[in-house]
C-alpha cells in the first residue's frame, strides 16, 4: 500500500512548483512591459485602477473623435474652397458675357453644363466611405444630376429640390463639454445660390444677352461666394476648437496615467527583486518535489510484491 504522506507531499510540491512557475512567467512579462500589472489581482487598489482606466478610455475616445473630426472638417474646407473658385470663375464668365457684344450662346451653355458636373462631383465627395455633405444620410449621394434640372424663371426663389440627403446634424463628442457638429450639407444657401445661378444661365439667351437673367445670375454667384467664405471661416474656427480640445485631453491624460502607474505598476527595482525571489522559490520548490519523488520511488521499491 502506497504511503499517503508521500503522495500528499508530492502533490503539494507540484502545486508549489506550478504557482512559482506562474509567478516567474508573470513577473518576466511585466518586466518586459515596463512593470505593468498583468492582472487585477496584482493592482494595489483595483477599484481606483478601474476608475482611472475608465477615465483614460474616455479620453482616448475623445482623441479618436477629435482626430477624425479634424480630418473631416479640413476635407470639407478644401471642397468648399474649390466650389468657391468655381463660383468666382462663373461670376467672371457671366460678367464678361453681359458686357460683350454677341457672346457665343452654345459655348456659354456648354460651360454651364460643365459647371453642373463639377459642382455635383464636389457636393457628392466622400470622406472615409461616407458622403461629406449629406447630413446623416451618409450612404446616399446627396445631389442628383444637376443637368436634369429644368431652367428657372427670373426672380425665382431658393430651390433645394436637387438635394436628397437630410438636414440632421452629425457630430462627435471631442471633450466633456465640446460637441463638434460636422460639415454643412449640400442644401446650404451658399451652394443653393450657386446652383440657382447656373440654372438661370442654362436658359439664358445670349444674342443679344438677356441682361436681366444674367444680372440675377451674377448677383447670386457673388452671394454664393460670400456665403462660402463664411462657411470656410466657421469651419476654420471649428478646427481651432478641435485642436484646443486635443491639447486639453493630452494635459488631462498625463496625470491620470501617472496615478494609474502608481497603483498598477511597480518600479524596475521592485520588479527585479520580486522576480529573483520567485526564481529562488521555484528552485526550492523544484528541489523539494524532486526529493519527495525520490523518497516515494524508494518507498515503492521497498514494498513486497
pLDDT in tens, 187-213: 999 999 999 999 999 888 777 778 899
C-alpha 212/C-alpha 113 separation (Å) is 21
* DSSP label of 146: G
Give me 43's grid cell: 493592482
- Shared domain for 28 and 135, answered yes or no, is no
CB 304 within 8 Å of CB 43: no
Give a yes or no: residue 286 inside a domain.
yes
- Shared domain for 101 and 221, answered yes or no, is yes
Average pLDDT over residues 77-97: 94
Give a yes or no: residue 256 inside a domain.
no
Ranked by mean pLDDT, which of 53-62, 110-119, 177-186, 274-283 comes out on top? Answer: 110-119
C-alpha 206/C-alpha 104 separation (Å) is 7
Give a yes or no: residue 245 inside a domain.
no
Give a yes or no: residue 79 inside a domain.
yes
CB 86 within 8 Å of CB 114: no
pLDDT exceeds 80 at position 301 = no
Contacts of 69 (CB under 8 A, 6+ apart): 171, 172, 174, 180, 182, 242
Confidence (pLDDT) at 87: 97
Greater confidence (263 vs 127) lies with 127
- Shared domain for 84 and 221, answered yes or no, is yes
Range in 16-20, 50-54, 77-81, 226-230 the model is least confident about: 16-20
CB 134 within 8 Å of CB 186: yes
How many domains does the chain divide into?
Answer: 2
Q: How confident is the model at residue 185 (pLDDT cuts 50, 70, 90)?
A: very high
80 C-beta neighbours (distance < 10 Å), count: 25
- Shared domain for 167 and 117, answered yes or no, is yes
C-alpha 81/C-alpha 79 separation (Å) is 5
Give a yes or no: residue 20 inside a domain.
yes
pLDDT exceeds 60 at position 39 = no
CB 6 within 8 Å of CB 299: yes
Residue labelled with grid coordinates 512567467: 25
Greater confidence (174 vs 17) lies with 174
Greater confidence (123 vs 262) lies with 123
C-alpha 303/C-alpha 2 separation (Å) is 8
Greater confidence (240 vs 14) lies with 240
- Shared domain for 72 and 201, answered yes or no, is yes
Confidence (pLDDT) at 204: 80
What burial class does residue 242 get, using C-beta atoms within 10 Å of its C-beta: 0-12 exposed, 13-18 middle, 19+ buried? buried
- Shared domain for 227 and 111, answered yes or no, is yes
- Shared domain for 84 and 153, answered yes or no, is yes
Greater confidence (25 vs 203) lies with 203
Q: How confident is the model at residue 116 (pLDDT cuts 50, 70, 90)?
A: very high
- Shared domain for 77 and 222, answered yes or no, is yes
Give a yes or no: residue 85 inside a domain.
yes
pLDDT exceeds 50 at position 2 = no
Instruction: Domain of residue 29: give its range.
Output: 4-35+266-302
Confidence (pLDDT) at 64: 78
Give a yes or no: residue 274 inside a domain.
yes
- Shared domain for 106 and 28, answered yes or no, is no
Extended strands (E) in the chain: 126-127, 130-131, 171-175, 178-181
Query: What are 265's strand-pairing partners?
Result: 36
Average pLDDT over residues 60-89: 89
110 C-beta neighbours (distance < 10 Å), count: 11
Query: What are 209's strand-pairing partners?
Result: 206
Question: What is the average pLDDT value for the chain, to the nearest integer?
Answer: 78
- Shared domain for 29 and 70, answered yes or no, is no
Greater confidence (194 vs 8) lies with 194
- Shared domain for 207 and 290, answered yes or no, is no
Confidence (pLDDT) at 241: 83
- Shared domain for 11 and 101, answered yes or no, is no
pTM to 2 decimal places: 0.66
Amino acid at each position: 500500500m502506497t504511503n499517503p504522506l508521500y503522495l500528499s507531499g508530492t502533490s503539494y510540491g507540484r502545486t508549489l512548483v506550478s504557482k512559482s512557475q506562474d509567478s516567474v512567467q508573470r513577473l518576466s512579462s511585466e518586466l518586459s512591459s515596463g512593470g505593468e500589472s498583468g492582472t487585477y489581482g496584482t493592482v494595489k487598489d483595483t477599484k481606483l485602477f478601474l476608475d482611472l482606466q475608465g477615465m483614460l478610455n474616455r479620453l482616448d475616445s475623445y482623441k479618436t473623435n477629435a482626430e477624425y473630426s479634424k480630418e473631416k472638417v479640413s476635407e470639407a474646407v478644401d471642397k468648399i474652397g474649390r466650389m468657391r473658385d468655381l463660383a468666382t470663375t462663373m461670376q467672371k464668365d457671366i460678367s464678361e458675357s453681359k458686357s460683350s457684344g454677341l457672346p457665343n450662346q452654345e459655348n456659354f451653355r456648354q460651360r454651364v453644363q460643365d459647371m453642373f458636373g463639377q459642382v455635383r462631383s464636389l457636393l457628392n465627395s466622400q470622406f472615409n466611405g461616407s458622403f461629406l455633405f449629406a447630413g446623416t444620410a451618409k450612404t446616399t449621394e446627396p445631389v442628383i444630376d444637376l443637368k436634369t434640372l429644368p431652367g428657372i424663371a427670373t426672380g425665382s426663389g431658393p430651390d433645394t429640390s436637387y438635394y436628397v440627403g437630410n438636414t440632421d446634424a452629425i457630430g462627435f463628442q471631442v471633450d466633456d463639454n465640446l460637441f463638434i457638429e460636422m460639415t454643412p450639407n449640400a442644401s446650404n444657401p451658399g451652394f443653393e445660390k450657386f446652383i440657382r445661378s447656373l440654372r438661370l444661365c442654362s436658359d439664358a439667351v445670349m444674342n443679344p444677352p438677356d441682361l436681366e437673367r444674367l444680372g440675377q445670375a451674377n448677383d447670386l454667384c457673388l452671394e454664393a461666394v460670400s456665403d462660402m467664405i463664411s462657411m470656410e471661416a466657421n469651419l476654420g474656427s471649428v478646427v481651432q476648437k478641435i485642436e484646443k480640445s486635443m491639447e486639453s485631453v493630452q494635459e488631462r491624460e498625463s496625470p491620470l496615467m501617472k496615478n494609474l502607474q502608481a497603483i498598477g505598476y511597480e518600479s524596475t527595482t521592485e520588479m527585479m527583486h520580486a522576480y529573483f525571489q520567485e526564481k529562488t522559490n521555484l528552485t526550492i520548490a523544484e528541489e523539494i518535489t524532486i526529493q519527495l519523488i525520490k523518497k516515494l520511488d524508494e518507498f515503492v521499491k521497498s514494498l513486497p510484491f
